[in-house]
């Protein structure tokens, strides 16, 4: 009898955990296939930008996106978290103009940008202001701030990419 009770408790616990997560039916979507297909990618992005029709999948994504951003993907499965990060990085790197439009729609104050893109290499290239908190957590790279220039940086200053001296 106690063996059956243990199984019932385990099943109930799993059910409770899954109730708080988004539907797992999209956990195994082949993101690489979408990234490689301009047509598929455009369909998703245009739906999110309110510039085109939405497939049922894209419509569900569009409906869940604000909650996922606000809750830091608290209701996402582990696969959904990994997928979300891949999608964000892909759009930032490969579709920066679309990212700017989506960001203006879904994150006009830049609140989620700071959370999700803090460690992304193109984070500051997108024009977001660096806050005091960002400066302490992500100090400038060597000689990127107020430090005295190194001998190497002084020598390289004034040289073009091909090494020609342009300081004349």
What pLDDT is attached to residue 34? 95
What pLDDT is attached to residue 113? 79
Query: For each successive 10 residues of the chain (168 residues), what is the average pLDDT?
Result: 44 46 86 96 97 94 91 90 91 94 92 72 48 40 42 44 44
The residue ranges of every structural domain in the chain are 16-128
Closest CA to 118 of 108, 102, 101, 133: 133
The CATH fold assigned to 16-128 is: Antennal chemosensory protein a6 (1.10.2080)
- CA-CA distance, 57 to 75, in Å (whole number)? 17
- Please name the residue ranges forming H helices in 71-143: 78-94, 96-106, 111-116, 132-137
């Amino acid at each position: 009898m106690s063996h059956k009770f243990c199984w019932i408790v385990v099943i109930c616990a799993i059910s409770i955990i899954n109730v708080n997560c988004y539907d797992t039916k999209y956990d195994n979507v082949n993101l690489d296939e979408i990234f490689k297909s301009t047509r598929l990618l455009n369909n998703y992005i245009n739906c999110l930008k309110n510039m085109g029709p939405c497939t049922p999948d894209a419509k569900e994504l569009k409906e869940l996106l604000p909650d996922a951003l606000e809750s830091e993907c608290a209701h996402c499965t582990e696969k959904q978290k990994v997928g979300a990060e891949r999608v964000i990085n892909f759009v930032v790197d490969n579709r920066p103009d679309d990212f700017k439009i989506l960001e203006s729609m879904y994150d006009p104050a830049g609140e989620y940008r700071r959370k999700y893109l803090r460690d992304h290499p193109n984070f500051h290239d997108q024009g977001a202001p660096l806050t005091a908190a960002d400066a302490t957590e992500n100090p400038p790279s060597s000689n990127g701030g107020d430090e005295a220039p190194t001998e190497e940086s002084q020598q390289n200053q004034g040289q073009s990419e091909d090494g020609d001296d342009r300081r004349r």
